[in-house]
């Protein structure tokens, strides 16, 4: 591991978010020089030794190039879902190369593939492919569903619904993703070059089992209601979202049904030196995540 006194500059995107913010904090505490990138600089954390870059949307190649000038490593948190996300990612990668960045650590998604059931996972595969052919040192962190999504996608009516069938998902916490990423970034050697790590929780569970855990934690009955694809689209119609976005929501459940998110990896404990967090522990430590499900909540 490189001494902080000689550590090269790391640019952290999404630094106001749950993953990027935690990574930036860890690097700063270790004395690594950090440049923070975010859509809104006013929301970026204030960290010793860290400098905030001017706004640089991923899709603005020139702004990204300026923001990354002098950085050795780019921690690239994927952009918010959009029809143009792959173009945004590839523009950011090209800007990083133009700025002289030598290493990219990219937050991808479990099972990323050109024909993945989950439509947004296809975006990640295309981004990975672009990074691979760019000739830059790289590491891919393929995270599973977020544990935080389980209570978030459960309605105040106590129902978690979607076309996941009886499939299983190895959901992982933001904390575990960030700590695993930090471990990779703090190791400036070549040991992680070309590696792809599946970042998962310690177990894969059905959504019915997740509902049972939520029931134990909230003291009320939480149910999983499986849907057909048609029912899933109909139950989400009231959001008024665009078709591509609804397709992403629905296919994320269908990927579970297809068995594409049931992989359980030891990458988190291997990289962090501690066990990955399970759903029960996550809910215990994050009561605000299910406050809307509590009686009178």
Residue 2 pLDDT: 46
Q: Could you report the per-residue pLDDT of 56-75, keeping only the tens digit for each?
A: 999 999 999 999 999 999 99
Where does the pLDDT of residue 188 fall: very low under 50, low under 70, confident under 90, or very high at 90 and above?
Answer: confident
Predicted pLDDT at 6: 57
Residues in contact with 294: Cβ distance below 8 Å, sequence separation at least 6, in sequence order = 218, 219, 220
What is d(CA 194, CA 213) in angstroms, rounded to the nearest whole number? Answer: 37
Question: Is pLDDT of 1 > 50?
Answer: no
What is the token pair recorded at 58?
Answer: 């991923």
Position 3 scores a pLDDT of: 45
- Per-residue pLDDT, averaged over 106-117, amounts to 98
Going by pLDDT thresholds of 50, 70 and 90, the confidence category of residue 4 is very low
Residue 53 has pLDDT above 90, yes or no: yes
Confidence class of residue 297 from pLDDT cuts 50, 70 and 90? low
Does pLDDT of 120 surpass 80?
yes
Q: Which of 30, 11, 35 is CA-nearest to residue 106? A: 11
Tens-digit pLDDT profile for residues 129-154: 999 999 999 999 999 999 999 999 99
Distance CA 297, CA 286 (A): 15
Asked if pLDDT for residue 5 goes beyond 60, the answer is no
User: Strand order in 137-143's β-sheet?
Assistant: 50-52, 34-36, 10-12, 73-76, 103-109, 137-143, 196-199
pLDDT by residue (tens digit) across 151-184? Answer: 999 999 999 999 999 999 999 999 999 999 999 9
pLDDT at 41 over 90: no
Cβ atoms of residues 124 and 136 within 8 Å: no
């Amino acid at each position: 591991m490189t001494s902080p006194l000689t550590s090269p500059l790391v640019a952290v995107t999404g630094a106001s978010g749950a993953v990027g913010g935690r990574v930036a904090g860890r690097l700063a505490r270790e004395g690594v020089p950090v440049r923070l990138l975010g859509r809104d600089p006013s929301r970026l954390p204030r960290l010793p030794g860290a400098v905030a870059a001017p706004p640089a949307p991923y899709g603005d190649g020139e702004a990204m190039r300026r923001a990354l000038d002098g950085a050795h490593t780019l921690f690239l948190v994927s952009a918010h879902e959009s029809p143009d996300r792959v173009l945004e990612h590839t523009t950011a990668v090209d800007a990083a190369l133009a700025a002289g960045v030598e290493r990219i650590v990219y937050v991808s998604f479990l099972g990323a593939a050109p024909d993945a059931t989950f439509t947004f996972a296809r975006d990640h595969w295309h981004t990975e492919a672009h990074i691979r052919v760019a000739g830059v040192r790289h590491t891919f962190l393929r995270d599973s569903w977020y544990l935080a999504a389980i209570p978030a996608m459960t309605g105040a009516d106590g129902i978690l619904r979607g076309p996941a069938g009886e499939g299983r998902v190895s959901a992982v916490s933001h904390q575990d993703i960030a700590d695993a990423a930090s471990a990779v970034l703090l190791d400036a050697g070549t040991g992680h070059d070309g590696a792809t790590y599946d970042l998962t929780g310690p177990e894969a569970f059905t959504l019915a089992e997740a509902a049972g855990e939520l029931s134990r934690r909230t003291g009320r009955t939480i149910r999983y209601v499986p849907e057909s694809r048609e029912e899933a689209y109909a139950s989400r119609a009231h959001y008024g979202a665009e078709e591509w976005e609804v397709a992403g929501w629905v296919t994320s459940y269908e990927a579970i049904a297809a068995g594409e998110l049931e992989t359980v990896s030891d990458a988190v404990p291997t990289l962090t030196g501690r066990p990955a967090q399970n759903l029960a522990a996550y809910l215990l430590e994050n009561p605000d995540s299910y406050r809307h499900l509590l009686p009178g909540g």
